[in-house]
């Protein structure tokens, strides 16, 4: 897998410190799963966090904190039991990394795609994040997503197929970061449906009035 579009420093730092909220973090973690290059920088940042923690001014603990911890340990199950992951068939089909598929319904081989019209399908991931939304998208091979712009930021990570827009061409593992009032029209590569994760903090604004009117109905 040749990944050419990596994470920005700003995003990677916010993910490392924990400042980034859950929906964005899914996209960052998905990219990190697929890209050892970005992961090397990430592990370095965790070392920076470790260095800062080690040199932190110690606080004064309340009494019996350690005893409280010990009490809770007895209830724990044996940590040597390693969970065995059972991936449904679609996971291998779409190249969706575990950090994303963990948010999808398990025990089924059929994904609950919702039709957005124009052949585009989505599944909104259920997170506890109230400030941003993460959704899995399926764009038919060779199709164009309607022209739209953003008020905020949009992060897209590709798992299968790919897309092209004015900023470049994106394939599996690539991450695209769009911010501000950028208008774009992604075009799915031919030959294979594009499966990607898109995270947005504000509703998308479609240029086409018909699509815009339908937005509340189709849930984007």
Partner 1 sequence: MSIDVDIVPARTKYAVENSDRVGSSLLKREANYEGKKVELKVESVYRDEQSRWIVSVAESRDKKAFKQLFDYFAPRIKGFCQNNGSTSDRADEVVQEAFVNVWRKAKLFDPGKASAGAWIFAIARNSRIDLIRKENRPEADTTDPFFDQSEPESPLAVLETERKSKSVRSFVKDLPAEQQQVLRLAFFEEKAHSEIAKELGIPLGTVKSRIRLAFKRIRSELGEI
Give dist(CA 65, CA 131) in Å, integer: 34
CB of residue 140 to partner 1, shortest distance in Å: 23
Alpha carbons 105 and 123: distance in angstroms, whole number: 10
Q: How far is CA 95 from CA 24, 39, 142, 143, 213, in A?
A: 19, 18, 19, 20, 33
Which residues 150-189 are close enough to bind partner 1 by CB under 8 A? 173
Q: Does 18 bind partner 1 (CB under 8 A)?
A: yes
Task: Output the smallest distance, CB 151 to partner 1, in A.
Answer: 16
Segment near partner 1 (CB under 8 A); pick from 87-95, 146-154, 185-193, 205-213: 87-95
Residue 89 within binding range of partner 1, rule CB under 8 A: no
SS3 12: helix
Q: How far is the CA of 138 from the CAs of 121, 127, 142, 145, in angstroms?
A: 5, 20, 12, 10
Verify binding: residue 41, partner 1, rule CB under 8 A.
yes
> To the nearest whole angstrom, how small is the minimum distance from the Cβ of residue 219 to partner 1?
22
Could you say which residues in the range 100-129 bind partner 1, by CB under 8 A?
102, 127-129
Residue from 4, 47, 112, 115 touching partner 1 (CB under 8 A): that is 47
């Amino acid at each position: 897998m040749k990944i050419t579009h990596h994470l920005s420093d700003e995003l990677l730092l916010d993910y490392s410190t924990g400042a980034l909220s859950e929906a964005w973090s899914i996209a960052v973690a998905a990219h990190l799963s697929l890209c050892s290059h970005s992961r090397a920088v990430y592990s370095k940042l965790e070392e920076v966090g470790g260095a800062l923690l080690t040199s932190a001014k110690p606080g004064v603990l309340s009494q019996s904190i350690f005893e409280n911890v010990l009490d809770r340990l007895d209830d724990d199950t044996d940590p040597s039991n390693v969970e065995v992951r059972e991936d449904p068939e679609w996971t291998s089909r779409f190249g969706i990394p575990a950090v994303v598929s963990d948010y999808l319904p398990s025990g089924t081989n059929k994904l609950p795609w919702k039709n957005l019209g124009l052949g585009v399908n989505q599944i909104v991931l259920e997170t506890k994040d109230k400030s941003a939304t993460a959704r899995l998208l399926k764009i038919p091979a060779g199709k164009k997503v309607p022209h739209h712009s953003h008020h905020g930021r949009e992060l897209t990570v590709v798992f299968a197929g790919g897309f092209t827009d004015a900023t470049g061409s994106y394939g599996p593992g690539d991450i695209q970061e769009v911010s501000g009032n950028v208008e774009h029209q992604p075009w799915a590569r031919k030959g294979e449906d594009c499966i990607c994760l898109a995270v947005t903090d504000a509703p998308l604004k479609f240029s086409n009035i018909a699509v815009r009117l339908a937005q509340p109905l189709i849930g984007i």
